[in-house]
Amino acid sequence: MAGVRITGLSKRYVIGKEAFFALEKMNLFIEDGSFTAIVGKSGCGKTTLLRLLCGLEEKTSGDIKFINRGSESNGSDEMRIGIMFQEPRLMPWLTIRENIAFSLFPKQKEIKKDADRHLQTLGLELFKDAYPWQISGGMAQRTALGRALYYDPDIILMDEPFGALDYFTRKKLQNEMVSLFLNQKKTFVFVTHDIEEAVYLSEKVIVLEAGRIVQELPVELPYPRKTNSPEFLNITEGIYKAIIA
């Protein structure tokens, strides 16, 4: 478990001769063990934020501090940050079980029991010896989720993980996410286009617009949530207005 304190974080990109800020002077506190959802239109900087958090991208300015058991640190050295990308990004030469265990390949000789536990909770045990080209898109995303969980990160970043899935699979995985969150002591940061998904899953919804936070909205509803309850609809509508405003 770990929290994150982001202060004045900016990321500047140069495309051709034009420079612009994909993130601009962002301040955000992500609480230890919380579930934060980030929503916003395409190109508002969601992926950029996640990539900065897990160190795949260099920040232009500002600060990212990780808070672990009360002490703050700059680096993600003692911190494990797992990311689930927009695409599954599985290794085509490894089986599903091996893909799940991939993160610890350099450190361990044998695949731990955890891999089988994740295979089971994610409903993949029948396919554990299959190769990525033999499974469906939904299974591939679940494998990617299993891989992120096996890494046992303090913070787990997810970039529209269910964006490419059909309605039913998405619903199923959302429920799996909720039980994962309730059962695991981890900090979740979840990027999505889908406002309903954000409200269904998270304790706090961050609305991004052109690299800036335009709204932070706590969702104080008990899990599991009912998407048709008046409180739920109220919150989704509030976010919807914030985005189109």
Q: Is 155 in the site for ligand ATP (CB under 6 A)?
A: no
Q: Is 56 in the site for other proteins (CB under 8 A)?
A: yes
* Residue from the set 17, 18, 74, 93 that interacts with other proteins by CB under 8 A: 93
Find tokens 């799996």 and name the residue. Answer: 176
Distance CA 188, CA 83 (A): 10
CA atoms within 13 A on the CB side of 162: 21
* Residue from the set 6, 30, 39, 44 that interacts with ligand ATP by CB under 6 A: 44
Q: Is 81 in the site for other proteins (CB under 8 A)?
A: yes
Q: Residue 187: which of 68, 75, 56 has the closest Cα?
A: 68
Distance CA 153, CA 55 (A): 14
When CB distances are held under 5 to 8 angstroms depending on the partner's kind, the choice from other proteins, ligand ATP, Mg ion, none that residue 22 binds is: ligand ATP
Residue 109 backbone dihedrals phi, psi, to 5 degrees: -85, -40
Nearer to other proteins, 36 or 95 (CB): 95
Q: Which residues bind Mg ion (CB under 5 A)?
A: 47
**Beta carbon of residue 10, minimum distance to Mg ion (angstroms, whole number):** 18
Nearer to ligand ATP, 15 or 245 (CB): 15
When CB distances are held under 5 to 8 angstroms depending on the partner's kind, the choice from Mg ion, other proteins, ligand ATP, none that residue 81 binds is: other proteins
Query: Taking a C-beta distance cutoff of 8 angstroms, is the pair 12, 211 a contact?
Result: no
